[in-house]
Amino acid sequence: MKDEKRKQKQFSIKMQKKLVVLFILVLLAFAGLTVRLGLLVHEKETKYQKQVLSQLKYDSTTLPYRRGDIVDAKGVKLATSEKVYNLVIDSAVMLDKEAYFEPTMEALAKYFPQLNMANIREYVKNHPKSSWYVPLRRLSYDEIEPFKEAQAEKNSNIKGIWFEEEYKRVYPGGSLAADVIGFARTDNVGQYGLEEYYNDTLNGSNGREYGYLNDDLALERTIKPATDGNTVHSTIDVNIQKIVEKVLNQFGDEHENEYREADGAENVGCIVMDPNTGEVLAMASYPGFDLNNPKDTQALIGAVEMEQIINANGYTEIRKTGKYITEARLAEMTEDEILLNLNNLWKNFCIANTYEPGSTMKPFTVAAALESGSISQQDTFVCEGYLEVGGFKIKCHGADGTLTLAKAVAKSCNVCLMKIARQMGADIFSKFQRDYNFGKKTNIDLAGEARTASLLRSAAEMDPTDLATYSFGQNFNVTMIQMAAGYCSLINGGYYYEPHVVSKITNSSGATVETFEPKLLKRTISESTSELIRSYCKEVVISGTGKTARPAGYLVAGKTGTAQTQPRGNGQYVVSFESFAPVDDPQVVVYVVVDRVNASKQDNARYATNMVREIYTELLPYMNIFMTEELTEAEKKELEERQLAITLEYGNPNKENGEEGENPLGPTPVWVTYPVDPVTGYLKNPNTGELIDAQTGEPVVEGAYDAIGADVPVPPEIQNPQE
Amino acid sequence: MEKKQRRKKEQAEFYFDYSLLFIVLFLIGFGLVMIYSASSYTATSEFGDPAHFLKNQLAAAILGLIAMGIMAFVPQKWIAKSALFAYFASAILIVLVLSPLGVESHKARRWIRLPGIPFNLQPAEIAKLAVIILLAVVISKMGKKVSTWKGFGLIMAIPIPLAAMIYVITDNLSSAIIVMAIAAAMVFVASRDYKKFIVLGLVAIACAAGAVYIIKAGIFGGGFRGGRILAWLDPESYAKDQGFQTLQALYAIGSGGVWGKGLGQSMQKLSFIPESQNDMIFSIICEELGMFGAIAIILMFVLLIWRMMIIANNAPNLFSAMLVVGVIGHIAVQAVLNIAVVTNTIPNTGISLPFISYGGSSILFLLIEIGLVFNVARNIQLKEM
């Protein structure tokens, strides 16, 4: 046994020593590593602590806000935002397990047949780490619902697909009120109209969903909800807007390709306003475009083509080419040219285009002359067919002979108007033009209002020819909204209200954030002058140039305009008609402008008056204004065809009851005629000294007006903002 | 009566190293705690069970402790006789990785699934054990010839086929290196001289430096491993890909400071350090327990190796001593290399921290090796101590 044991080789002392050496080597290695650890901690502790914290990006997602609606006066949605979904493919998750890929691809192919599956397979294969690929955008909930259900099933193995929420701007009316509303881009930036002007009001702020780690290192979520945008309540009444657009489009269709291969007119615009508040009830222009597809170039066909040039002074200028866009031309246009022309289409003719108003200016001239005392209402004027001014023979349409003021307006006599203006002088004429807000922005709450300051000469710059031609609305430019707002003040007793399109802002839960009361800026003329102007305008429709504007059963009042365009003698005209109804108590002002109708002979105001008649025929019954005029058999038949009721029996209380009073809503209140108290700006009863609120007729409590603040109407004498 | 007394005598002579057992149990227990801490976040998000990895590791550890107990009582002759069998069996198992039994995970095919074993088996771990046993047998038979160049060459030639198979078939360079390192440690202890090893050590360092220089200069494409070397030299420039894991580990170590953020408070384990319960678990230890915890663990390894050294130096014969030396070599090399990788002292390569890192095969075969050590210790005659 012992021998055997000795035979066994032993772990010699030498080896034991070497093992100790090995142990020391290992010890040294550990010591070295410990030193390295110590150095790491010593040198980098603070830096790496920050690094660790900085890379903890708490997984957070943006919750998009909803852009507010735009609604009409009755709450009908003009613009709204709908939730839509973007399909997001997360390749990394999908490829995490082999079992996910095929079922996910099959489900995608099944529920989204519009997908090109070959492309998607290739994408996922080529980008296995991508977690953001969006093959489909803006799907509705109905489209994604079946897929989501399939995905939610147990053991579905459909992985790596999720849906990102977004809002899509939708315009239920399509092209309805396109110019007023404007449109919002996908990034929620409004362009044109209310969308642009009220962009910040309509936009909200994004919310966020945060993930964070709590003390137990579990992921918790907290949500900071998005603040949705506010709702803009417009004064536009969709029903009136529809009436107007129907008439405009009918007119456009009638004249399309009549004389030239183009739209029915270069532009047709119509503004319907409430003269007593400055609220715009409808605003439309032709040709229009679809807000849901504003970039549709088909809408350009027939429009006058615009081009951008560098003019003699070295400035870029956008001007008409004089040609009209055809399908063939559209095909060869560059992208920039198309955009230029689309911008021209998108801008609102009623506020952005300027033109010479023509004879619709005459009531303004007459009112200024009467108000300033330059003429009296009994004055008569003689028309010899022309007047020599500054060496020019400025012609009238005929020799009208001796005319009263009423007839001068009714017959639209240029010579009489030139004589009136001459009597008034450039200073007074120019002061009144500024009072009517010509040459200034109306500050209507719409984006893109044109500046007209340079398009109208001041008294100092005017020569006699300017004064003469200005008197009948030539040689200076205005915008439609200037004319409409000014005309409102002419016929409502001289109260100039700032025209506006929005009455109220509410937040997403419906609470009112801001209301816009009618803003009385100034008084242009007195009530008595206004009354005279109303009667002259009535005469235009009864016996003058505007007979064709009278709708069945009603009497309306207005003034026609047939303006030459530059260069003179080109045969191109802007015809227009400004009007109001009912004649004794104006409730609505309708202003129609036809810019270069597509007809061989353009200088006929009937293009405008016919449209106004069409509008009134449906508008006045809609506004519950009763008929006052006897109907002819032809008119009865017409109403029957249009399925409109004859409301004559309610509308004419005078004839049935034999009572005095022209106003169907009661006599004109006495307080309207009171003089304005120069100290407070209120109307003052000369007998009692009581102060009356000019707008409501309520007596003002002494001393209380200070507290009313901004709502106090500033006396017209004081408020006449100088530009 | 005599019989009884003899038995009593035998029992009295029976040596059991309680400190070694305590150290091993401590490391396993500590490892389980750290695995739970490091993996609960990813386990919850991936498996819905925060203790997923903990349960797997616990099962492997229990199986390993049973195997360790059995191993401690197996007659040494059996062990010596099974050496060749173990060697070829491990070679066959490595080849089996290519068969349908093979399991792919983490983009590498290194495991096989055998019936009756609750986890995937990594044949490389078996190979390490087989090499230890076979070399112990060979060295104990060779005697003084070990010190010759011929003996040295013969011993180093034995593990090469296994190492080559591990590298080629399972694409696992680190395990191949460890197999060779175990052989080197054993032959170093068994040989008389130092000169040979100093020369070879210097040559190896020079080769490594040369290789690094060539890769850095970009002479060859470098590929996957070349990229790792570049990332090692400058991890911040490769923060997105090759250097990501290393850099995140450094962030963890650095941000842990001296006392750490506290057990369970690591932020880096929140999916910043990939597989934080595996090779990079030491960085989580540093982050949560700081320098203090890291040094404590290093000390535990030093103690472990020291206890084993005592056992080897008192082993009754060369064979059993060499067995222990092999185990020392295995554990020491793996622990040093792992900590070196985590601290970016050497290029990143997948080496687990013995007893602590997650991995069923690793802990099972390490405990079998510890069983061998206990077996050797049991045969120490107390009077000789």
B35-69 pLDDT per residue, tens: 999 888 888 877 878 888 999 999 999 999 999 99
The DSSP letter of residue A132 is -
Interval A139-166 mean pLDDT: 85
At A10, is the pLDDT very low, low, confident or very high (cuts 50, 70, 90)?
confident
With both helix axes pointing from N to C terminus, report the angle between B173-190 and B149-157 in degrees, rounded to the nearest 10.
150
Q: Which chain B residue has the Cα nearest residue A11?
A: B318
Query: In chain B, pLDDT over 90 holds for what percent of residues?
Result: 50
Longest dimension (CA), chain B: 80
- Condensed to tens digits (0 to 9), the pLDDT of residues B306-355 reads 999 999 999 888 999 999 999 999 999 999 999 999 998 888 888 899 99
Of A586 and A643, more confident = A586
Residue of A410, A414, A439, A417 whose CA lies nearest to A369:
A417
Of A720 and B253, more confident = B253
Report how far residue A326's alpha carbon sits from residue A297's, in angstroms, rounded to the nearest whole number. Answer: 11
The DSSP letter of residue A228 is P
Residue A718: predicted pLDDT: 39
Interval A330-344 mean pLDDT: 91
Structure tokens at A208: 């966020």
From chain B residues 260-289, the ones with a CB under 8 A of any chain A CB are 264, 267-268, 270, 272, 286
Residue B55: predicted pLDDT: 92
Residues recorded for chain A: 723
At A664, is the pLDDT very low, low, confident or very high (cuts 50, 70, 90)?
very low
Residue A5: predicted pLDDT: 46
Q: Are A524 and A302 spatial neighbours (Cβ–Cβ below 8 Å)?
A: no
- Condensed to tens digits (0 to 9), the pLDDT of residues B123-163 reads 999 999 999 999 999 999 887 888 888 889 999 999 999 99
Interval A465-481 mean pLDDT: 92
Residue with tokens 């200024």: A368
- Is the per-residue pLDDT at A52 higher than 80? no
Report how far residue B301's alpha carbon sits from residue A521's, in angstroms, rounded to the nearest whole number. Answer: 92
Strand order in the sheet with A573-581: A279-286, A265-274, A588-597, A573-581, A557-564
Give CA separation, B307 vs B302, B303, B336, B345, in Å. Answer: 9, 6, 17, 27
Residue B1: predicted pLDDT: 47
Report how far residue B372's alpha carbon sits from residue B78's, in angstroms, rounded to the nearest whole number. Answer: 12
- Is the per-residue pLDDT at A665 higher than 70? no
Q: Say yes or no for a CB contact (<8 Å) between A41 and B291.
A: yes
> Is B324 domain-assigned?
yes
Residue with tokens 């023979």: A393
Report how far residue A682's alpha carbon sits from residue A699's, in angstroms, rounded to the nearest whole number. Answer: 9
Residue B325 belongs to what domain range? Answer: 16-384
Q: What count of other Cβ atoms lies within 10 Å of the Cβ of residue B148?
A: 15
The SS3 assignment for A318 reads: strand
- Is the per-residue pLDDT at B9 higher than 70? no
Nearest-Å Rg of the Cα atoms of chain B is 21
Instruction: Note the CATH number of domain A61-234.
Output: 3.90.1310.10
> Is B266 domain-assigned?
yes
Minimum mean pLDDT range among A354-358, B10-14, B196-200: B10-14
Residue A721: predicted pLDDT: 39
CA–centroid distance for B201 within its chain: 21
Of A397 and A417, more confident = A417
Interval B77-94 mean pLDDT: 92
Residue B3: predicted pLDDT: 52
Longest dimension (CA), chain A: 161
Distance from CA of A133 to the nearest CA of B (A): 21
B237 inside 8 A of chain A by CB: no
Domain ranges of chain A: 11-44, 61-234, 250-268+285-352, 669-723
Strands A265-274, A279-286: pairing is antiparallel
In chain A, residues with a C-beta closer than 8 Å to the C-beta of B291 are 37-38, 41
Residue B299: predicted pLDDT: 95
Average pLDDT score, chain A: 84
Which residue type is seen at B221? G
Closest partner residue to A36 among B305, B332, B343, by Cβ?
B343
Query: In chain A, pLDDT over 90 holds for what percent of residues?
Result: 43
At A566, is the pLDDT very low, low, confident or very high (cuts 50, 70, 90)?
confident
Q: Say yes or no for a CB contact (<8 Å) between A15 and B190.
A: yes
At A656, is the pLDDT very low, low, confident or very high (cuts 50, 70, 90)?
very low
Residue B301: predicted pLDDT: 96
Give CA separation, B97 vs A336, B158, B166, in Å. Answer: 66, 21, 10
- Is the per-residue pLDDT at B219 higher than 70? no
Residue B383: predicted pLDDT: 59
SS3 for chain B is CHHHHHHHHHHHHCCCCHHHHHHHHHHHHHHHHHHHHHHHHHHHHHHCCCCHHHHHHHHHHHHHHHHHHHHHHCCHHHHHHCHHHHHHHHHHHHHHCCCCCEEEECCEEEEECCCCCCCCECHHHHHHHHHHHHHHHHHHHHHHHHHCHHHHHHHHHCHHHHHHHHHHHHCCHHHHHHHHHHHHHHHHHHCCCCHHHHHHHHHHHHHHHHHHHHHHHCCCCCHHHHHHHHHHHCHHHHCCCCCHHHHHHHHHHHHHCCCCCCCCCCCCCCCCCCCCCCCCHHHHHHHHHHHHHHHHHHHHHHHHHHHHHHHHHCCCCHHHHHHHHHHHHHHHHHHHHHHHHHCCCCCCCCCCCCCCCCCHHHHHHHHHHHHHHHHHHHCCCHHHC
Strands A588-597, A265-274: pairing is antiparallel
Domain total in chain B: 1
Q: Say yes or no for a CB contact (<8 Å) between A37 and B272.
A: no
Q: What is the ipTM of this complex?
A: 0.92
Residue of A596, A655, A657 whose CA lies nearest to A627:
A655
Q: Are A578 and A559 spatial neighbours (Cβ–Cβ below 8 Å)?
A: yes
Distance from CA of B220 to the nearest CA of A (A): 27
Residue A717: predicted pLDDT: 41
- Condensed to tens digits (0 to 9), the pLDDT of residues A514-551 reads 999 999 999 999 999 999 999 999 999 998 888 899 99
Element (H, E) at A136: strand A133-139
B336 inside 8 A of chain A by CB: yes
At A198, is the pLDDT very low, low, confident or very high (cuts 50, 70, 90)?
very high
Closest partner residue to A40 among B192, B254, B332, by Cβ?
B254
At A124, is the pLDDT very low, low, confident or very high (cuts 50, 70, 90)?
confident
**In chain B, what is the straight-line distance between the N-terminal and C-terminal CA atoms, in Å?**
28
Report how far residue A687's alpha carbon sits from residue A320's, in angstroms, rounded to the nearest whole number. Answer: 61
- Condensed to tens digits (0 to 9), the pLDDT of residues A206-217 reads 888 776 665 555
Helix, strand, coil fractions of chain A, as percent rounded to 5: 40, 25, 40
Residue B233: predicted pLDDT: 79
A35 inside 8 A of chain B by CB: no
Q: Could you tell me which residues are beta bridge partners of residue A560?
A: A577
Report how far residue A409's alpha carbon sits from residue B359's, in angstroms, rounded to the nearest whole number. Answer: 104
The SS3 assignment for A547 reads: helix
Which residue intervals of A153-229 are DSSP H helices? 178-181, 193-197, 199-202
Q: Say yes or no for a CB contact (<8 Å) between A51 and B264.
A: no
Residue of B70, B71, B69, B43 whose CA lies nearest to B57:
B43
Residue B273: predicted pLDDT: 76
Instruction: Write the CB contacts of B127 (distance below 8 Å, at least 6 apart in sequence).
Output: B90, B91, B94, B162, B163, B165, B166, B175, B179
Query: For A26, left (φ over 0), alpha (ψ -120 to 50), or beta?
Result: alpha
The alpha carbon torsion through B226, B230, B236, B238 (nearest 10 deg) reads -30
Instruction: Write the CB contacts of A272 (distance below 8 Å, at least 6 apart in sequence).
Output: A240, A244, A280, A281, A282, A283, A588, A589, A590, A591, A615, A619
Minimum mean pLDDT range among A266-270, A324-328, A611-615, B306-310: A324-328
Residue B264: predicted pLDDT: 82
The phi and psi torsions of B244 (rounded to 5 degrees) equal -60, -55
> Is B183 domain-assigned?
yes
In chain A, residues with a C-beta closer than 8 Å to the C-beta of B301 are 30
Q: Are A303 and A341 spatial neighbours (Cβ–Cβ below 8 Å)?
A: yes
Report how far residue B353's alpha carbon sits from residue A30's, in angstroms, rounded to the nearest whole number. Answer: 13
Residue of A403, A364, A399 whose CA lies nearest to A384:
A399
Residue A136: predicted pLDDT: 87
Report how far residue A563's alpha carbon sits from residue A475's, in angstroms, rounded to the nearest whole number. Answer: 10
The SS3 assignment for A556 reads: coil
B339 inside 8 A of chain A by CB: yes
> Is B371 domain-assigned?
yes
Residue B272: predicted pLDDT: 73
Residue with tokens 């002088």: A425
Report how far residue A91's alpha carbon sits from residue A133's, in angstroms, rounded to the nearest whole number. Answer: 8
Residue B32: predicted pLDDT: 95
Q: Which chain A residue has the Cα nearest residue B335?
A: A30
Interval A489-496 mean pLDDT: 93
> Is B130 domain-assigned?
yes
Report how far residue B68's alpha carbon sits from residue B370's, in angstroms, rounded to the nearest whole number. Answer: 6
The phi and psi torsions of B118 (rounded to 5 degrees) equal -75, -5
Average pLDDT score, chain B: 86
> Is B6 domain-assigned?
no
Give CA separation, A385 vs A375, A390, A402, A596, B241, in Å. Answer: 21, 17, 11, 26, 93
Q: How many CB pairs under 8 A join A and B?
A: 129
Residue A186: predicted pLDDT: 82
Q: What count of other Cβ atoms lies within 10 Å of the Cβ of residue A609?
A: 26
Residue A662: predicted pLDDT: 44
Residue of B307, B261, B323, B311 whose CA lies nearest to B286:
B261
Of A28, A43, A52, which to mutate for an interface test with B (greatest number of B Cβ within 10 Å)? A52
- Condensed to tens digits (0 to 9), the pLDDT of residues A672-718 reads 666 666 666 666 666 666 666 666 666 665 444 443 333 434 344 43
Closest partner residue to B336 among A30, A41, A48, by Cβ?
A30
A214 inside 8 A of chain B by CB: no
**In chain A, what is the straight-line distance between the N-terminal and C-terminal CA atoms, in Å?**
128
Give CA separation, A700 vs A672, A695, A711, B361, in Å. Answer: 14, 11, 13, 97
Closest partner residue to A38 among B190, B291, B312, by Cβ?
B291
Residues recorded for chain B: 385
Report how far residue A424's alpha carbon sits from residue A44's, in angstroms, rounded to the nearest whole number. Answer: 90
In chain B, residues with a C-beta closer than 8 Å to the C-beta of A18 are 188-191
